[in-house]
Chain A
């Protein structure tokens, strides 16, 4: 017993000899996965690859450059909002959180996020340098509720070898349509000459795919999707026109049917179709295929924003941002958050290597960004990108409902009018529950 007591005393005294930690700790919560095995000790941002590698290395670098601050990182399963909500309910939220811009309103309008204007000002961040899409994504009632980090949206990923075979290349670039009729004509030509579908579509289990198509081409025609904060309007002549167009593509077998996301990605990689409309986040994987000899996509890949088919050239987008949940913090912690924002703004180019569009105009114009593969072609997304109105809450859930009903309309499982009116009813019911 005496020996045990002595051992405990020794352990306590040794513990009390530990070096005191005078650093200011800020607690950061993010998704993008965990890759400590590969990047846990790395501060060389230029050598990091992929979302996880780059974000991990950036935070390591911030800690290394700011010895008086330490960012404690908590990696959550994507998208992390159930955990964040639980933390807010338990009054123990993190200091910094990665958040999709479409989700900001859910928290900000309930007072659960701090406006970050003061942090941006203290960090010397010029908000005039935000791209239009990025600014719209984080601004509610004239106040910024997050540091915009990127813009992401749908892109037309193109197999240029098949396009060449279909006679749809001009001056080394794919010929994309300018009207809905042109798209149908090109799709028919493509199928006739290649024997393959023009569009690869993930209409199964991927509601974002159909929602993106419907939102984008309704917005392009000036449709007001949300007349107020509690109602959506889809069953309109414009909505019916867009849905009818995508249904026509399917009834004429110009696009694949019954594919989920993995099947659609595999189909595109294996050269089984001309265009795969999916997000910015796939550029890295497809470019890797395009750079690998022997692969069907080898030297046969190009990517562009959705083409203008009606009205003006706009596209529905979202983005990632850094937000600050409402909580009591010391002056040192607030200062550390400002410095973190400044650091992340200064490294927005590094993040843009993931395939996402930068949130800063200066990075868009940066020769380093322009020299990255395909970036010149997709950069217009920062100008044509339009998020949903920031006053609309539950945007993720709404996207799920709209995507599900739109996919039912596109694939003929429901009549177009029925699917669109069902979507309206379900979304209105959802929005009736929010304050």
Chain B
């Protein structure tokens, strides 16, 4: 990557330093993985037992032994994919409007959206919960997905990105008779794919890891997401007497995120690099 950007080739000391830094970053992940492969009883006295065999997959077996684990996995996937798709659609449309269209109160509305960035979700949790109770949406997929669609960061991100695309492209397309929708769909959206990928990953991560809203909205175990379900499956003092199982849960819950990152790695790196040089 660095070579492609024209920077000098890395020297051996620099490579060694990078490898060392990478090792430091990987260490907690490897530690988690090793702990997850040990029986709980082996770790109660000293977690250093994780460095010595024998290892076992018993903790992972226990996770799958719970009949609801796959249901929680499915719920998390539906909620995360639903929120991601929704945020991409809404943020792209809103971002295009704020970046390209002229309409009354455009600036005021954009400021209101920006103010949304300053409001923590906890501050609105009570009225939000009451609203969803009134709509009878708790313990449902819409109840889990809809709050996540309020994404001021997504709107801000897409607006900023689209403003960076030359307006001449729109004008040329208009001269060729393209409608607003065609310009948006055929020209702007393809050009924003790196930003879409980045926003998708951030949104997916946020939705997948969300704990607070699913905890109080999904109060029946068949509607739990994976984070809530795995927490519910823990016994008290899991950090001491159930450490192996706890770590297996952590590894299990992070696998889908890892897969998403692997799939979108190129887009994410491209978007980050693009943002850096802009």
Seen from chain A, the residues whose Cβ lies within 8 Å of a Cβ on chain B are: 31-38, 40, 50-52, 73-78, 82-83, 85-87, 89-92, 261-262, 265-266, 269-270, 281-282, 285, 288-289, 295-296
Name the A residues within 8 Å of B217 (CB-CB): 86
Q: Which 7 A-B pairs have the closest CB atoms?
A: A37-B65, A33-B235, A86-B216, A77-B231, A34-B233, A90-B133, A269-B45
Nearest-neighbor residue (CB-CB) of B48 within chain A: A266
Query: How far is B66's CA from A209's CA once the two chains are assembled, in angstroms?
Result: 33
* Pair B44/A37 contact, Cβ less than 8 Å: no
B129 at interface, CB cutoff 8 A = yes
* Pair A78/B66 contact, Cβ less than 8 Å: no
Cβ distance B51 to chain A, nearest Cβ, rounded Å:
15
19 A-B residue pairs with Cβ-Cβ distance under 8 Å, sorted by A, are A31-B232, A33-B236, A38-B62, A52-B235, A73-B221, A74-B219, A74-B220, A76-B219, A82-B215, A86-B215, A87-B219, A261-B237, A261-B239, A262-B240, A265-B241, A270-B45, A281-B237, A282-B237, A285-B241
Query: How far is B129's CA from A40's CA once the two chains are assembled, in angstroms?
Result: 33
B67 at interface, CB cutoff 8 A = yes
Interface size class of B (residues with CB under 8 A): 35 or more
* Pair A37/B221 contact, Cβ less than 8 Å: no
Q: What sequence of 0s and 1s flags, for each residue 36-53 of chain B, a beta carbon within 8 Å of any chain A beta carbon?
A: 000001001111000000
Query: How far is B66's CA from A47's CA once the two chains are assembled, in angstroms?
Result: 20
Knowing A89-B129, A265-B240, A266-B45, say if A83 contacts B216 (CB, 8 Å). Answer: yes
Query: How far is B231's CA from A85's CA once the two chains are assembled, in angstroms?
Result: 18
Knowing A37-B65, A86-B216, say if A265 contacts B44 (CB, 8 Å). Answer: yes
Within 8 A of A (CB), among B173-229: 215-217, 219-221, 228
Name the A residues within 8 Å of B231 (CB-CB): 77
Query: How far is B84's CA from A252's CA once the two chains are assembled, in angstroms?
Result: 58
Add 12 more A-B contacts to A85-B216, A91-B133 (CB < 8 A).
A34-B233, A74-B219, A75-B232, A76-B219, A78-B234, A83-B216, A86-B215, A89-B133, A265-B241, A285-B241, A288-B41, A296-B45
Majority SS at the chain B contact face = helix
Cβ distance B132 to chain A, nearest Cβ, rounded Å:
8
Name the A residues within 8 Å of B232 (CB-CB): 31, 33-34, 75-77
Name the A residues within 8 Å of B133 (CB-CB): 89-91
Within 8 A of A (CB), among B12-59: 41, 44-47
Query: How far is B236's CA from A34's CA once the two chains are assembled, in angstroms?
Result: 11
Query: How far is B216's CA from A11's CA once the two chains are assembled, in angstroms?
Result: 34
Name the B residues within 8 Å of A296 (CB-CB): 45
* Pair B67/A36 contact, Cβ less than 8 Å: yes
Q: What sequence of 0s and 1s flags, for each residue 231-269 of chain B, a beta carbon within 8 Å of any chain A beta carbon?
A: 111111111110100000000000000000000000000
* Pair A82/B216 contact, Cβ less than 8 Å: yes
Cβ distance A38 to chain B, nearest Cβ, rounded Å:
7
Q: What sequence of 0s and 1s flags, for each residue 61-91 of chain B, a beta carbon within 8 Å of any chain A beta carbon?
A: 1101111100000000000000000000000
* Pair A37/B61 contact, Cβ less than 8 Å: yes
Knowing A33-B235, A52-B235, say if A77 contacts B228 (CB, 8 Å). Answer: yes
Query: How far is B138's CA from A33's CA once the two chains are assembled, in angstroms?
Result: 23
Knowing A74-B219, A87-B219, say if A38 contacts B234 (CB, 8 Å). Answer: no
* Pair A51/B235 contact, Cβ less than 8 Å: yes
* Pair A83/B67 contact, Cβ less than 8 Å: no
B160 at interface, CB cutoff 8 A = no
**Which of the residues B65, B215, B240, B241 comes within 8 Å of A36, measured between beta carbons?**
B65
B121 at interface, CB cutoff 8 A = no
**Which of the residues A74, A91, A270, A281 comes within 8 Å of B221, measured between beta carbons?**
A74
Cβ distance B45 to chain A, nearest Cβ, rounded Å:
5
Query: How far is B41's CA from A289's CA once the two chains are assembled, in angstroms?
Result: 9
Name the A residues within 8 Å of B221 (CB-CB): 73-75
* Pair B239/A262 contact, Cβ less than 8 Å: yes
* Pair A75/B215 contact, Cβ less than 8 Å: no
Nearest-neighbor residue (CB-CB) of B245 within chain A: A33
**Which of the residues B62, B138, B239 comes within 8 Å of A90, measured between beta carbons?**
B138
Query: How far is B68's CA from A50's CA once the two chains are assembled, in angstroms?
Result: 21
Most interface-central of A31, A36, A90, A282 (chain B CB within 10 A): A90
Query: How far is B166's CA from A96's CA once the two chains are assembled, in angstroms?
Result: 62
Query: How far is B238's CA from A78's CA once the two chains are assembled, in angstroms?
Result: 11
Name the A residues within 8 Å of B130 (CB-CB): 89
Query: How far is B46's CA from A31's CA once the two chains are assembled, in angstroms?
Result: 27
Knowing A90-B129, A266-B46, say if A33 contacts B237 (CB, 8 Å). Answer: no
